[in-house]
Chain A
Amino acid sequence: MSNNSSCTTCGGLCGGKGLVTLKEGVWTSNPLAIQVLGICSALAVTNKLSNSLVMGAALLFVCVGSNLFVSLLRNHIPHRIRMIAEVAIIATFVILFDQFLKAYYWEMSKQLGPYVGLIITNCIVMGRAEAFALQNPPLVSIVDGVANGIGYGVALAIIGFLRELFGAGQVVFFGMTIDLGSWYTPNQLMILAPGAFFVFGILIAIFNVLKGDDAEEGQ
């Protein structure tokens, strides 16, 4: 088994600045597809494209915010209690985003249910705070947060798009509709739980093929 890494000790691939950091987060160590972190929410909210994008935005916001503040405070947080300090910072941003959704997008907030709150236990945010923001200055940490947020959001959008397309036969997004036409009988299973596992498994396999052999050793 090559995936014995536990959630909090993920990444470890820090170092590199600016563009390197960006590329790492979005592609070479994409949090979802390569490192396989934070999959709980990735699977749960991706039954529709719009849900996936909102979740991606939520993670981007939380990751950038927590990375910035953990990085700013990195010399002041005592090492022994850094975990709880990180959790407190992350929770603050999650609550902010949750309140924002509740105030302006009530329908979306109801659809996402507890999964917005569960960003707190999302390994990606915690992992980036622990592995990157604690050792790096604020600006690079923001870049890292953006990169991981985008990497996560893109992977989420792909899963959401495929599941909605094959599950409902059409994707409705900001008024635009992509329709498979009447020849296709929508497969309800794609919207339900098994479809999520299936699409995600296939997606990681495709990423593995694209990345070549170093994918397995990288984990």
Chain B
Amino acid sequence: MKKLISSPESVVVDALRGMAAAHPELSVDLTRRIVYRAQPKEHGTVALVSGGGSGHEPLHAGFVGFGMLDAACAGAVFTSPTPDQVLAATRAVDRGAGVLHIVKNYTGDVLSFELAAELAAEARIEVRTVVVADDVAVTDSLYTAGRRGTGTTVLLERIVGAAAEQGFDLDEVHALAERIAAAGRSMGIALGGATVPAAGRPTFTLGDDEIEWGVGIHGEPGRERQPMGPAPDLAARLVQPLVGDGLGTGDAIVMLSGLGATPLIELYGMLAAITPLLEQHGVRPVRVLVGDYVTSLDMAGCLLTVLPVDAELLSYWDSPVDTPALRWGRS
């Protein structure tokens, strides 16, 4: 293992210290590993708390700020935050209008947020929870933990964050969040495994001619090992499962995220191959993000997320946002 770290034990806190140094607009609690806005939002507005394992940067701390999250809880690498962390964040950001928990569908995350919400209710803080489960690679059935939460989380945090900023109440914010969670779809492929610092070696290894198709964001193998192919072929293998899963047509926000070790030149090349395929299926990308937004440490590969939107959702998307990883419209 060769990484720019001090030690596997300190990797999360070191990164948080770096975030604090880079972003004075954030307030970082290094002990509890929670990132807040330095400037809390106004009393009477709904607050948004998310969090998850570390190793997905910029998710989630990179999306704390105006128009998105109020707090993000950082767990250990690929490990959900603890219930007391989530509770502390929830207490700190509540402005009397309640708190929305945004949870990616993983057993640990769901359990931690569930326990924290129960404890918050005892402290008379109103909490609603949206669970993002957008990864079509997982065959959802009674016999799995359900689909994983991946890229739609970013789009949801942005859109719902805008609505909260505009004064929506907790029920409205929650309903909007559920609507986005239901509409977004994601699919990922990996060209190699991820190396968890504490483990020291890649979670899986692939030959030059192999990919893992249908991977999540925790270095786990995907649904199937498949032969490598040129970009247009890989693009089809990403788009087809989304379309086959009842993806809505019309205007859409598209995010092509690198998984941590894929250069932008490849991501843009992939996007060029993906766009016409989406258009063939009646999906018009009206806003596009390309870059590292939801990563899996040093995994090579990409994650495609598509969220069909109407004019209302698009207006929230376009409204001002000011976070380390997404920023526009605000001077």
- A interacts with B: no
Q: Hey, which bits of chain A sit against chain B, CB under 8 A?
A: none
